Amino acid sequence: MNNGLEPLIDLRGAGTSLTPQRARLLQALDAHGSISAAARTVGMSYKGAWDAVAALNRFVDEPLVQAETGGSGGGGARLTPMGRRVLAFHQALTSLQQRVLAGAAEAGGLDQLLDRLGNLMLKTSARNQFEGTVQTLVRGAVNSEVVLDLDAGERLTAIITNASVDDLGLREGGTAIALVKSSFVILAAPGARTSARNALAGTVVSCREGAVNAEVVLQLAGGRQLVATVTNESVKDLDIRIGAPMQALVKSSHVILAVAV
C-alpha cells in the first residue's frame, strides 16, 4: 500500500457499525455456518462474536444473520440475503479504497469499479450472484454467447438473446452480474465429463441436509462461494462432505445476466 496507508471501511448505522473485523466474522460465518467456528477463525471470543451478530442484526431494517436450530449438526447460523449484500458492499468499498490508495484507479478503472458497486444494489431471489467483466460477446442469428470473467481464472458463459444484449447494453470490457439459482447447479466429482458449458471447481465448506434436499456450499478458487441445492440421496451417492473437492456444473442457458440501472 502506498505511503504505508491501510484502508479501513467502517459502515455505520442504527447505533452500531460494520468494521473490517466484523466483516471478516460475517465472511467466516458464511463459510462455516457456525458462530463458534467463525469466532475461532477471526480470533474473537464466542461472546464477542454473539454480541457482534446481535448488533449487526440491528444494522439495517432486516437481520444480516439468521440462527438455525435442529438438523444433524445441531443447528448453526447463516447469512441472510441482506447479510450477503451488505457484506459484498463492504468488500467492494474496501477494494475500491485499496485501488485508490495504490494509485491504480485510472479514470477507466475507477469508472468500472463504480459500475461494480452499482451491480451490488441488485435485489434478486437467486442465491448465486457473480459479478465480473464481459470478456467476449459473440452474436449469432438469434442468441449471443457472453463470457463473463470472474477473475482468478474463473469464467461463466451465458447464452442470451440478442435483444437482451441490446437491452442490457452489454459490451466487451463492461461489467455485469451473473445470477444462477441454486437448483440449477449440478454437482459432480472432479474431472467428470459433461455437456454443461460451465464447470467450476471448488471445495465443500458446508452441507446442510433438510427433509428432502440439502444445501451445499462450495468455496471456489477465486474466493467466491457457490450454493447448490441437491437431494439428500445425491449427498450420499457423491459422498459430499466438508473438505471434499467437487465440480459445479451450470448450463449456459441457466445463467441470467443483469446490470445496474
Instruction: Give the chain's domains with CATH numbers.
Output: 2-86 (1.10.10.10), 125-261 (2.40.50.100)
- What per-residue confidence (pLDDT) applies to 156? 94
Strands 198-209 and 128-139: unpaired
- What per-residue confidence (pLDDT) applies to 137? 96
21/16: higher pLDDT? 21
85/171: higher pLDDT? 171
Whole-prediction pTM value? 0.58
Q: Is the pLDDT of residue 142 over 70?
A: yes
What's the whole-number mean pLDDT along residues 248-259?
Answer: 92
3-state SS, one letter per residue, for the chain:
CHHHCCCCCCEEECCEEECHHHHHHHHHHHHHCCHHHHHHHHCCCHHHHHHHHHHHCCCCCCCCEEEECCCCCCCEEEECHHHHHHHHHHHHHHHHHHHHHCCCCCHHHHHHHHHHHHHCCCCCCCCEEEEEEEEEEEECCCEEEEEEEEECCEEEEEEEEHHHHHHHCCCCCCEEEEEECHHHCEEECCCCCCCCCEEEEEEEEEEEECCCEEEEEEEECCCCEEEEEEEHHHHHHCCCCCCCEEEEEECHHHCEEECCC
Q: Taken in order 33, 225, 111, 119, is the CA torsion positive or negative?
A: negative
